[in-house]
């Protein structure tokens, strides 16, 4: 049996190489997507990839560097607004693109890491409009490969049913979260220390 390759995380390659590798992996994020444009000049900056899903929905992909995750949200929303205003014109120029202007545009944001504040901010837009993926660069012998991962915190999941607020424990008051002393396992003696 041949030895396993020596794999290690490494810094991303030059931007042109990084985009080439990510472009070849887009169908991992968007199954069946067809790439329409790369490095399209949009709202004051470039949109790294423009694709269309088989359903006719337009997908924008922006690639950021380490620490740019929060900035990418603003850029993604600006680019989505810019493209939305031009979709009908694009369809007139190239009806064979298969674009459905009435379908909401989705933006994929790709970064090496995503901070919790970025995930919280993006969740206000909704995972149907804005989604995250993390890219990691791995040295495989002499080659550098870029891998994509959708973090579990960024996946669209069904909403959990709302939990009814807990009733306050006898003689106690509920916390603002709706949790009561009993939910936290606070005894009457411990509660009296908090008063």
DSSP code at position 101: T
User: Residue 182 has what pLDDT?
Assistant: 59
Per residue in 5-25, pLDDT (tens digit) is: 678 888 999 999 999 999 999
Helix and strand numbers (H, E) in the chain are 7, 7
Q: How far is the C-alpha of 140 from the C-alpha of 130, rounded, in Å?
A: 31
Q: How far is the C-alpha of 5 from the C-alpha of 187, rounded, in Å?
A: 56
User: Residue 191 has what pLDDT?
Assistant: 55
DSSP code at position 103: S
Per residue in 155-167, pLDDT (tens digit) is: 543 333 333 344 4
Phi, psi of 113 (to 5 degrees): -155, 160
Structural domains of the chain, ranges and CATH numbers in brackets? 7-154 (3.40.1350.10), 163-195 (no CATH)
User: Residue 171 has what pLDDT?
Assistant: 47
Q: Which stretches of the chain score pLDDT less than 50?
A: 156-177
Q: How far is the C-alpha of 17 from the C-alpha of 37, rounded, in Å?
A: 17
């Amino acid at each position: 049996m041949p030895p396993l390759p020596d794999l290690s995380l490494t810094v991303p390659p030059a931007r042109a190489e990084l985009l080439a590798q990510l472009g070849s992996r887009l169908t991992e994020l968007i199954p069946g997507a067809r790439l329409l444009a790369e490095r399209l000049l949009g709202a004051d900056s470039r949109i790294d990839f423009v694709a269309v899903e088989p359903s006719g929905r337009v997908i924008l992909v922006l690639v950021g560097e380490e620490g740019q995750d929060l900035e990418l949200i603003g850029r993604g929303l600006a680019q989505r607004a810019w493209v939305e205003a031009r979709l009908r014109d694009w369809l007139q120029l190239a009806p064979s693109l298969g674009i459905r202007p009435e379908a909401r545009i989705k933006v994929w944001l790709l970064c090496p890491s995503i901070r919790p504040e970025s995930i919280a901010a993006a969740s206000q837009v909704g995972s149907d409009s804005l989604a995250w993926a993390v890219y990691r660069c791995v040295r495989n012998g002499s080659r550098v490969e870029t891998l994509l991962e959708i973090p579990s915190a960024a996946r669209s999941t069904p909403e959990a049913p709302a939990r009814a607020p807990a009733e306050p424990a006898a003689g106690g008051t509920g916390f603002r979260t709706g949790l009561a002393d009993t939910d936290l396992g606070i005894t009457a003696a411990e509660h009296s220390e908090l008063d």
